[in-house]
Amino acid sequence: MFKQKDKRTLNKSIDMMRITIIAVLFGVVVLLFFARLFLLQVVDRDYYESIAVPKTYKEQTLKVSRGQIFDRKGNVLVSNKKQYNVSINKATLDSQDYNTSILSFIKFCIKHSIVLEDKLPVTQVYPFVLDNEYIFDETKEKMLIKFIKNNNLNTNDVLGSENSLYDYLCNKYGIAEKDKNNSVYRKLVGLRYDMETNDFEYLHTYTILHDIDEETKTLFAESLHTMHGIEITTTDSRFYNYGKLACHILGTTGTLYKEEVEEYVVGKGYDYDSVIGKDGAEKAFEQYLHGFDGKKRIELDEDNNVIGEEIINDPINGYSVNLNLDLDLQRVSEQALEEQIKYARSLGLADIIPNNGEDCKAGSVVVMQVNTGSVLATASYPGYDLNTFSKDFNSMLSDTSTPMLNRSTQGLYPPGSTFKIASAIAGLCSGAITENTLIYDSGVYEKYEDYSPMCWIYGSKGVTHGYMDVKGAIQNSCNYFFYKLGDVMGIDTLVEYASMLGLGKKTGIEVPEYEGILAGPEYRDKIGLLWNPGDTLQAAIGQSDNAFTPLQLCAYMSTVVNGGTRYKATLLDSVVDYSTGEIVYKNSPQVLDKIDIPENYINILKSAMKSVVVDGTAKTVFDDYKYEVGGKTGTAQMGKGSDTALFVGFAPYDKPEIVVAVVVENAAQSSRAADVAKAVFDCYFELDGDENK
């Protein structure tokens, strides 16, 4: 019986132990549960709240700075200026309700008298009907055509009645009937229309206000929290430090045109809203200047507030481009050209003799290094201010003086007597003449019955040059000598050597240029005309069909005085990573062609061109000049009006370093062009020499 009692006691103890274990385990579980709740609700509350809230991820573009442009000495020619804009950012705009945020923005602008540009061709005051004046506004007309096309509309759908465009837009943008006649909603419709026609659906931002002042910026900064999607953005606007200086060479920038999308967006990975070089150096060196935008991913909560961001691709700023242009030479070239044009015109207007410079209004100067092809200056007059280019564009288009034409590379001019150097080289190198050949100038070249041209001195003074060798013929610019030379050697020989010297060929410069015209049977055949013997006589003195750019004349003379090496003309010196100073690319001289000109012939021609400035046709300009230079004057007829003046010269005489080519349209006298070249030579010699060589 005792044993039975002990057994019951043991069983009871085991049961109690089991209960205790279960109770402890339960207590532990409860404690763990409460600990977990504490961890979730207190310790990690922020984290779990953040992951519990619905979020959206969108990408934004990180804009980069375009590279700067410098001259050869480090002077900044083109830089960037910070500009503040007000933009609509699609990433943070409530995609379900554009109107609420945009209305807040419009009301803010009305309150603070901030004017919003409106391109919708609908009247600004009630009733909001079609404003037919839009047909006189090119921008509005293009936008409307684009809108109709993008929405697959027929013209009658939106232009069928005075109200149809506004009614269509109100319906499209969800404007209630009760709000249609409200002027604030009219502004909303105009802004939505502008956003759409500027491809807002495909871009991250749409700029509403450009280049706002500090006061306006502060006003917006204080109120942005009330306007989702509206933000202040910072962009770089291009600033041209010297306004008009080198305007035709530096060029301009702008946003992509539709026809450029394939090349830049598809082909090169640009964004749709990229700013690119449109012309000049800005376009020529786009690959270096542009850089590449970065990307970042932003995290938005359910109220479209930014709660986080992550950089996906770092932005890469554009490289700096160093040009061969010399700021001092460029400035002097432009000033001297402008002054001489105005001087020639004022004298011509004061003179009763017609065609004596009264119509002188344009010209060009090019300065090139003889042994590299580097272009140190290139002036074209008239010009324009690069900083106001967009504002002045329409007026410049209608300006008969064509200020946007780069006369240095796209102006074609008869070379006149400056071509006689090419004729002399062709004659000497082909054996048609020697340095001692004498030709007697009888005043009138009478070989051909139907064409008997006169030497200029016989026509103006009734006398002749008498016997002339090649040096004297260049010094005195004797037409008769070159009539005879052209006749003896023939047009094929003349064309062969002139072509090797680069005339009628592009120089290879990085900006657009014209090829020019080298007179001869081949060109005549192209235009369906015959070549006659008299044309050869005219071609030999730089007339007939001959027409070249000032840059070509400069390159041609460089080839002559350096002994026969024709270099590619170039604006580019180097490309540099501005942040590190590392040279990314260094340009080197490129030889396009070589012509074998015996050294003694070069010396004869140089000596002849020295005599031009000492005792010849340019003596009045260079009389007692303190530097030794050489050159050749020329005049040429260009239709009606005064003769065009030309001068192509080199310096220093003993070891040429630069060539200067000057063309002054309708200046009447070659001295006008020589005066400009003299000012350039003065500047070059007075500069610290090593920097230019």
- Which pLDDT does position 228 carry in this prediction? 80
The domain in which residue 315 lies consists of: 50-86+210-217+231-323
Amino acid, single-letter form, for residue 55: K
Examine residue 337 and state whether it is found in any structural domain, yes or no.
Answer: yes
Kindly state whether residues 65 and 96 are assigned to the same domain.
no
- Statement to judge: residues 583 and 645 lie in one domain: yes
Residue 40 domain-assigned (yes or no): no
Would you say residue 222 lies in a domain?
no
Q: Do residues 112 and 243 both lie within one domain?
A: no
Across 51-60, 270-279, 411-420, the highest mean pLDDT is recorded for: 411-420
Shared-domain flag, residues 367 and 249: no
Residue 43 included in any domain: no
592 assigned to some structural domain: yes
Is 45 within the bounds of a domain? Answer: no
User: Are residue 615 and residue 556 in the same domain, yes or no?
Assistant: yes
CATH of the domain at 366: 3.40.710.10
Report which DSSP code applies to 78: E
Checking if the pLDDT of 297 tops 90, the result is: no
pLDDT tens readout for residues 468-526: 999 999 999 999 999 999 999 999 999 999 999 999 999 999 999 999 999 999 999 99
Domain boundary pick from 323, 350, 369: 323
pLDDT score at 181:
92
Split at pLDDT 50, 70, 90, the class of 437 is very high
Q: Are residues 413 and 477 in the same domain?
A: yes
- Report whether pLDDT(561) > 70: yes
Same domain for 155 and 197, yes or no, is: yes
Q: Which residues contact 12 (CB under 8 A, 6 or more apart)?
A: none
Instruction: Please give, one letter per residue, the 3-state secondary structure of 411-475.
Output: CCECCHHHHHHHHHHHHHHHCCCCCCCCEEECCECCCECCECCECHHHHHHCCCCEEECHHHHHH
Q: How far is CA 178 from the centre of its chain?
A: 50
Number of domains comprising the chain: 3
Residues 426/420, Cβ–Cβ less than 8 Å: no
Reported confidence tier of residue 157, pLDDT bands at 50, 70, 90: confident
Domain boundary at 269, 293, 323, which?
Answer: 323
Distance CA 274, CA 271 (A): 5
Q: Based on the fold, state whether residues 307 and 343 are members of the same structural domain.
A: no
Q: Which of 279, 298, 323 is the last residue of a domain?
A: 323
**Distance, CA of 685 to CA of 627 (rounded, Å):** 8
Residue 94 has pLDDT above 70, yes or no: no
> What band does 59 get if pLDDT is binned at 50, 70 and 90?
low
Structure confidence by residue, pLDDT tens digits, 204-220:
568 888 888 889 999 88
My answer on whether 144 and 259 are in the same domain is no
Residue 693, pLDDT above cutoff 50: no
* Residue 54 shares a structural domain with residue 82: yes
Using 50, 70 and 90 to split pLDDT, how confident is the model at 372? very high
Torsion of CA 229, 234, 236, 241, to 10 degrees: 140
The answer on pLDDT for 5 being more than 60 is no
- My answer on whether 197 and 236 are in the same domain is no
Judge whether 59 lies within some domain.
yes
In the prediction, which pLDDT does 257 show?
83
Q: What percent of the chain has pLDDT over 90?
A: 65
Does residue 107 belong to any structural domain of this protein?
A: yes
d(CA 271, CA 614): 60
State the CATH number of the domain containing residue 262.
Answer: 3.90.1310.10
**Co-location of 456 and 541 in the same domain:** yes
For the chain, how are helix, strand and coil distributed in percent, rounded to 5?
Answer: 45, 20, 35
pTM: 0.80
Q: In this predicted model, which residue has the larger pLDDT, 160 or 34?
A: 160
CA end-to-end span of the chain, whole Å?
A: 129
